Chains A and B, each alone.
Chain A
Amino acid sequence: MAEKKEYKVIGTRPIRHDGVDKVTGRALYGADFQMTGLLHGRVLRSPHAHARIVSIDTSRAEAYPGVKGVVTAQDLPEAEDRVADLGEGAVNLKYLCDNILASDKVLYTGHAVAAVAATSPHIAEEACKLIDVEYEVLPPVMEVRQAMEADAPLLHENLKTTSMGETAEEPSNVASHIQHKLGDPDKGFAEADIVVERDFVTGTVHQGYIEPHNATAHFNQDGQLTIWCSTQGAFTVREQVAEILQYPISKIKVVPMEIGGGFGGKISVYIKPVAAMLAKKTGKPVKVLMSRSDVFEGTGPTPASYIRVKMGATKEGKITAAEAYLAFEAGAYPGSPVGPGAMCIFAPYSIENLVIDGYDVVVNKPKTAPYRAPGAPNAAFGSETVLDEIAEELGIDPLEIRLLNGAKEGDRRADGPVHPRIGFIETVETAKAHPHYTAPNGKKHHGRGVASGYWFNIGLESSVTINVNADGTINLVEGSTDIGGTRSSIAMQAAEVLGIPAESVNPSVVDTNSVGYTAVTGGSRTTYATGYAAYEAAQDVKRKMITRAAKLWEVDEDNVQFADGEFSCINGKEEQISFRDLCGRLGQTGGPVVGSGTVNPGGAGGAYATHIVDVVVDEETGKVDILRYTAVQDAGKAIHPSYVEGQIQGGAVQGIGWALNEEYIYNDEGTMTNASFLDYRMPTCLDLPMIDAVIVEVPNPGHPYGVRGVGEVPIVPPMAAIANAIYDAIGIRMTELPMSPDRLLKAMGKI
């Protein structure tokens, strides 16, 4: 349905609607919320990675001047082993509650144990130190392979492995095992002329959003709970808080403030229920803010993993079989993204015979949370490195081998679905023709690498309402929090339908009482699905306006046509009226016009990316510098190209950080020793060149304008691309992330 078309608004680069507020400091983010009588909350966190809580005595804290209330897990409703459905699949309610405030055991350093509300944040912090917690310290399990061993200490006495529908007898740290299989892998490997197999290890990394989590909660006397916070999804906050506090959703209003980054990390709630509990206990509004170390230690990073990849190919470079073993650290409670990792790992290629095994394993680290294409980057680091090695051994250009095996419409993904129209081949062809790829690359210690990646993107529910103004503008009401310019990319789709400029749309992101259900800003779905809802809402407006024009001209609706912002009469009368002028006449023709659109689309098109990177390696220090970076990606249709480029550049740079330096470093007791921006070492602008983002447009048949999600896939290729470039520079295959200077020195035999 969507083919290449000429658009008026789509594909242009208007100034974003919330831009002025954000460059003047006027935009209000979660922590900026102020209210008279506000108390300040602070969370006491576990100093141990694994311990049983013997007792908690809060009396000294409660007696401290300025303290108004203290809560612990005792204040949470009893959480039976019930399963809560939060829209993204079933979640064990006890796990959910225990992650908010630990009841019987602490499972990671930084695990929340109690919280205090006081008249100032400093007093709340001091009072936390007066809470006496007695722990019985247990041995921590910090690494996935160690956790899978038969005699490993157990985190949960009653967690049993589920494997393909069967549940094991004995408890284990392995929560689940999944498998995807196509064809006959043994036969495929037998047909191969070359087989390469390697092990990979990746570290725990954090989304690293600059704004720490925040929440302000207030209970009215009538039991109405309001929460002001920054979140990727106000409705999911409402659901989670309702489940955790066992409180009706109809009595909870969540007001999404501006949000300072999320990348998947601001979907799960941490301090929002705590703020609500403190507000309940004190009868006052309570604001709880996390510190940066709270964020590192107490919120979900994306998992460390152990991965084994084996691929076989013919002399000509045709992949005959592939096998992957993925073991992901879930953190303290089950739920790592090993599932999506297993779905994405070989998805760029058409492979007849393959088998993928995935394991979700608990360890004494924070419960993991999504991070941009969760699971796929870990997986691609393995598969894209092995493919590079095969290409190299066979003497085939690495982009050529991708073209040879690239997945196309009609090919089957390992986990079952058949690809609709996808743009993988186009990304590879574009990369191959790019001046970066054809530029000379011969200097000593310089290397070039490429890698590709896949992310499926999601649809889910979105709602949009449009109120038409008398001056020809529209107010667009939506529920998707805007983390990177989506007010504009959504508004532009409505503007396109109505033939009005982007500036004639006033988008607002509103609270859960004021718009229909809208799923999270995540899964690269916002411009796709909420944009789709805006398209539908605008179509609704258009239909209603046609009725009004018909009424005005006293003709049948069928005789009114709308094109380029003009209504005209196509039969008999020579009437014409612009959208704007008709807006001025709504009163006469029946009153205000409100359009609405709701969607739950199933056609989120998968996104592919192919990246090229040049590096230089300092052989004496092991340091890798990025010299040039080009990221090619299929966006389906770029609604606002600047913000598509921004997503690509930002994702690529997060991948560069993951590749080179970012990781949680733990001491022997299982405590993170680098829980600050200084020592976690995310890239600064001095560590980077310009990032050339190249947009390819292969329209997604599942969206009226061809949109595919763009936010996540750019983080998938960088790690392997950089590893391949390092190999090109110094002839050594790096198989452990991050590829930090000390690891390079070791691999080069210098230390």
Chain B
Amino acid sequence: MQDFSYVSAQTVSEAVSLLDENGEKARILAGGTDLIVQVREARRDVGLMIDVKSIPEVNVLDYDDDAGLTLGAAVECYKIYAVDAICNAYPGLIDATKIIGGTAIQGRAGVGGNLCNASPAADCIPPLIVLGATCVIAGPNGERELPVEHFCTGPGQTALEKGEMLVSLKIPAPASNSSSFYLRFIPRNEMDIAVVGAGASVTLDAAKQTIVSARIALAAVAPTPLFAEEASELLAGREVSDAAIDEAAQAAQAIARPISDMRGTAEQRTHLVGVLTRRALNGAIQRI
């Protein structure tokens, strides 16, 4: 493994200035479950690791029925699913946090790291997209916010500019009669990376007959996780029915641009987008 320096930053501004000074070779260390592996396997060239886990802002885990969730960028998965109110409000996100790696990985890995690593197959990103999450980003020029679906720009690439870091994620409080669901297909039952992932959030009318709005997002079928906008929109105003769900699944399949690799073939992935989109939508509806 290459040699690098390590700093445990105490404030956001310290981390930001270290990032700014050291440029490309500096990386934020959250749980390290991606970063340490990548540096060890020489897939990333890193001269400085900036540990942010001592910074208060990135450890915030704050849920309020009205304001929603503020999730610090370094909060580990296991802390998130330990809070019942969060599990009830965002079951789709919880689905993802419970399947990242195994329990030992979840002791270190966080949603923020999952997002910043920007893997097309990242499990937390589709639920963040369908839940309408916003990224709170700090940089040399202060703070800015960005909808999560615009955060990933390519495999391992993000919208973060030089000197910028993710501080937290904000997820609005769930609407009434809504719920969310995330699932992925893997050949094993755990410890595997998504061949395809699909997340959905659905809001129904008071009678629970008609879809008021829905959001669908996909993993591992394009260079970045995808927000399936058309598929989502065509559900608005439709009765809950197999036909509507099938249509959405087909629309989702239409935007998938998968590759073949050791985890699955392109044909298999396109096929699975249909299957998983249906299952995610039905799953979300059943939870309402």
Q: Which residue from chain B places its CB closest to the CB of A661 in the assembled complex?
A: B187
- Asked whether B193 is an interface residue with its Cβ less than 8 Å from the other chain, the reply is yes
Task: Flag if B188 contacts A687 (CB, 8 Å).
Answer: yes
- Asked whether B243 is an interface residue with its Cβ less than 8 Å from the other chain, the reply is no
Task: Flag if B188 contacts A684 (CB, 8 Å).
Answer: yes
B120 to chain A, nearest CB (A): 15
- Asked whether A573 is an interface residue with its Cβ less than 8 Å from the other chain, the reply is no
Known: A621-B185, A684-B191. 17 other contacts (CB 8 A): A122-B1, A620-B275, A621-B272, A621-B275, A623-B187, A673-B261, A673-B262, A679-B193, A681-B188, A681-B192, A684-B190, A686-B190, A741-B185, A742-B264, A742-B265, A745-B268, A750-B271
Q: How far is the CA of A678 from the CA of B102 in the complex (A)?
A: 11
Q: Which residues of B245-261 are within 8 A (CB) of A?
A: 261
Task: Flag if A678 contacts B193 (CB, 8 Å).
Answer: yes
What 1/0 mask marks residues of chain A from 731 to 751 whose CB sits below 8 Å from any chain B CB?
000000000111001000011
Q: Which residues of B185-206 are within 8 A (CB) of A?
A: 185, 187-193, 195
B266 to chain A, nearest CB (A): 9
What 1/0 mask marks residues of chain A from 407 to 449 whose CB sits below 8 Å from any chain B CB?
0000000000000000000000000000000000000000000
B234 to chain A, nearest CB (A): 22
A739 to chain B, nearest CB (A): 11
- Asked whether B2 is an interface residue with its Cβ less than 8 Å from the other chain, the reply is yes
Q: How far is the CA of A475 from the CA of B286 in the complex (A)?
A: 66
**30 contacts across the A-B interface (CB closer than 8 A):** A122-B1, A125-B1, A126-B2, A621-B185, A661-B187, A665-B262, A678-B192, A679-B193, A679-B263, A681-B187, A681-B188, A683-B188, A684-B102, A684-B191, A686-B188, A687-B188, A687-B189, A740-B187, A741-B185, A741-B187, A742-B264, A742-B265, A742-B267, A742-B268, A745-B271, A750-B271, A751-B265, A751-B268, A751-B270, A751-B271
Residues of B within 8 A of A681 (CB): 187-188, 192
- Asked whether B3 is an interface residue with its Cβ less than 8 Å from the other chain, the reply is yes
Q: How far is the CA of A679 from the CA of B262 in the complex (A)?
A: 7
Q: How far is the CA of A470 from the CA of B275 in the complex (A)?
A: 72
Q: How far is the CA of A687 from the CA of B102 in the complex (A)?
A: 13
Residues of B within 8 A of A678 (CB): 191-193
The 8 closest A-B pairs by CB, nearest first: A673-B262, A751-B267, A674-B262, A686-B189, A742-B268, A665-B262, A620-B275, A751-B271
Q: How far is the CA of A660 from the CA of B261 in the complex (A)?
A: 18
Residues of B within 8 A of A750 (CB): 271
Q: Which residue from chain B places its CB closest to the CB of A660 in the assembled complex?
A: B187
What 1/0 mask marks residues of chain A from 186 to 207 whose CB sits below 8 Å from any chain B CB?
0000000000000000000000
Chain B interface main SS type: loop
Residues of A within 8 A of B271 (CB): 745, 750-751
Q: How far is the CA of A658 from the CA of B262 in the complex (A)?
A: 16
Task: Flag if A122 contacts B187 (CB, 8 Å).
Answer: no
Residues of B within 8 A of A745 (CB): 268, 271
Which range holds the interface residue count of chain A?
A: 20 to 34
Q: Which residues of B1-51 are within 8 A (CB) of A?
A: 1-3
Residues of A within 8 A of B2 (CB): 126
Residues of B within 8 A of A126 (CB): 2
A123 to chain B, nearest CB (A): 9
A619 to chain B, nearest CB (A): 10
Task: Flag if A741 contacts B268 (CB, 8 Å).
Answer: yes
Residues of A within 8 A of B268 (CB): 622, 741-742, 745, 751
Which range holds the interface residue count of chain B?
A: 20 to 34
Task: Flag if B3 contacts A122 (CB, 8 Å).
Answer: yes
B265 to chain A, nearest CB (A): 5
Q: Which residue from chain A places its CB closest to the CB of B191 in the assembled complex?
A: A684
Q: How far is the CA of A661 from the CA of B188 in the complex (A)?
A: 8
Q: Which residue from chain B places its CB closest to the CB of A657 in the assembled complex?
A: B188
Residues of B within 8 A of A687 (CB): 188-189
Q: Which residue from chain B places its CB closest to the CB of A121 in the assembled complex?
A: B1
Residues of A within 8 A of B195 (CB): 741
Q: How far is the CA of A678 from the CA of B193 in the complex (A)?
A: 8
Q: How far is the CA of A621 from the CA of B272 in the complex (A)?
A: 7
Q: Which residues of B153-196 are within 8 A (CB) of A?
A: 185, 187-193, 195
Q: Tell which of B3, B195, B271 has the most Cβ of chain A within 10 Å.
A: B271
Q: Which residue from chain A places its CB closest to the CB of B271 in the assembled complex?
A: A751
Residues of A within 8 A of B187 (CB): 623, 660-661, 681, 740-741
Q: Tell which of B3, B191, B264 has the most Cβ of chain A within 10 Å.
A: B191
A689 to chain B, nearest CB (A): 12
Residues of B within 8 A of A621 (CB): 185, 272, 275
Q: Which residues of A147-190 are within 8 A (CB) of B?
A: none
Q: How far is the CA of A715 from the CA of B101 in the complex (A)?
A: 28
Residues of B within 8 A of A673 (CB): 261-262
Q: How far is the CA of A122 from the CA of B3 in the complex (A)?
A: 8
Residues of A within 8 A of B262 (CB): 665, 673-674, 679
Q: Tell which of B102, B187, B189, B271 has the most Cβ of chain A within 10 Å.
A: B187
What 1/0 mask marks residues of chain B from 69 to 80 whose CB sits below 8 Å from any chain A CB?
000000000000
Q: Which residue from chain B places its CB closest to the CB of A686 in the assembled complex?
A: B189
Q: How far is the CA of A125 from the CA of B192 in the complex (A)?
A: 28
Q: How far is the CA of A125 from the CA of B1 in the complex (A)?
A: 7
Q: How far is the CA of A202 from the CA of B278 in the complex (A)?
A: 34
What 1/0 mask marks residues of chain A from 673 to 696 whose CB sits below 8 Å from any chain B CB?
110001101011011000000000
Residues of B within 8 A of A623 (CB): 185, 187
Q: How far is the CA of A741 from the CA of B233 in the complex (A)?
A: 31
B263 to chain A, nearest CB (A): 7
Residues of B within 8 A of A125 (CB): 1
A122 to chain B, nearest CB (A): 5
Residues of A within 8 A of B191 (CB): 678, 684
Q: How far is the CA of A674 from the CA of B265 in the complex (A)?
A: 14
Residues of A within 8 A of B193 (CB): 678-679
Q: Which residue from chain A places its CB closest to the CB of B2 in the assembled complex?
A: A126
Residues of B within 8 A of A683 (CB): 188
B41 to chain A, nearest CB (A): 8
A129 to chain B, nearest CB (A): 8
Q: How far is the CA of A574 from the CA of B250 in the complex (A)?
A: 94
Q: How far is the CA of A622 from the CA of B265 in the complex (A)?
A: 13
Q: How far is the CA of A658 from the CA of B117 in the complex (A)?
A: 32
Residues of B within 8 A of A741 (CB): 185, 187, 195, 268
Q: Which residues of A702-751 are within 8 A (CB) of B?
A: 740-742, 745, 750-751
Q: Which residue from chain A places its CB closest to the CB of B279 in the assembled complex?
A: A620
A750 to chain B, nearest CB (A): 6
A728 to chain B, nearest CB (A): 21
Residues of A within 8 A of B263 (CB): 679
What 1/0 mask marks residues of chain B from 267 to 283 whose CB sits below 8 Å from any chain A CB?
11011100100000000
Q: How far is the CA of A678 from the CA of B270 in the complex (A)?
A: 23
Q: How far is the CA of A673 from the CA of B2 in the complex (A)?
A: 23
Q: Which residue from chain A places its CB closest to the CB of B190 in the assembled complex?
A: A686
What 1/0 mask marks residues of chain A from 620 to 633 whose CB sits below 8 Å from any chain B CB?
11110000000000
Q: Tell which of B185, B188, B192, B275 has the most Cβ of chain A within 10 Å.
A: B188
Q: Which residue from chain B places its CB closest to the CB of A620 in the assembled complex?
A: B275
B240 to chain A, nearest CB (A): 20
Q: How far is the CA of A680 from the CA of B190 in the complex (A)?
A: 13
Residues of B within 8 A of A674 (CB): 262
Q: Which residue from chain B places its CB closest to the CB of A679 in the assembled complex?
A: B262
Q: Which residue from chain A places its CB closest to the CB of B265 in the assembled complex?
A: A742
Residues of B within 8 A of A665 (CB): 262
A92 to chain B, nearest CB (A): 34
Residues of B within 8 A of A742 (CB): 264-265, 267-268
Q: How far is the CA of A687 from the CA of B275 in the complex (A)?
A: 21
A427 to chain B, nearest CB (A): 30
B278 to chain A, nearest CB (A): 9
B127 to chain A, nearest CB (A): 20
B180 to chain A, nearest CB (A): 21
Residues of B within 8 A of A686 (CB): 188-190
Q: How far is the CA of A661 from the CA of B193 in the complex (A)?
A: 14
Q: How far is the CA of A740 from the CA of B187 in the complex (A)?
A: 7
Q: How far is the CA of A512 from the CA of B1 in the complex (A)?
A: 36
Q: Which residue from chain B places its CB closest to the CB of A738 in the assembled complex?
A: B187
Residues of B within 8 A of A622 (CB): 268
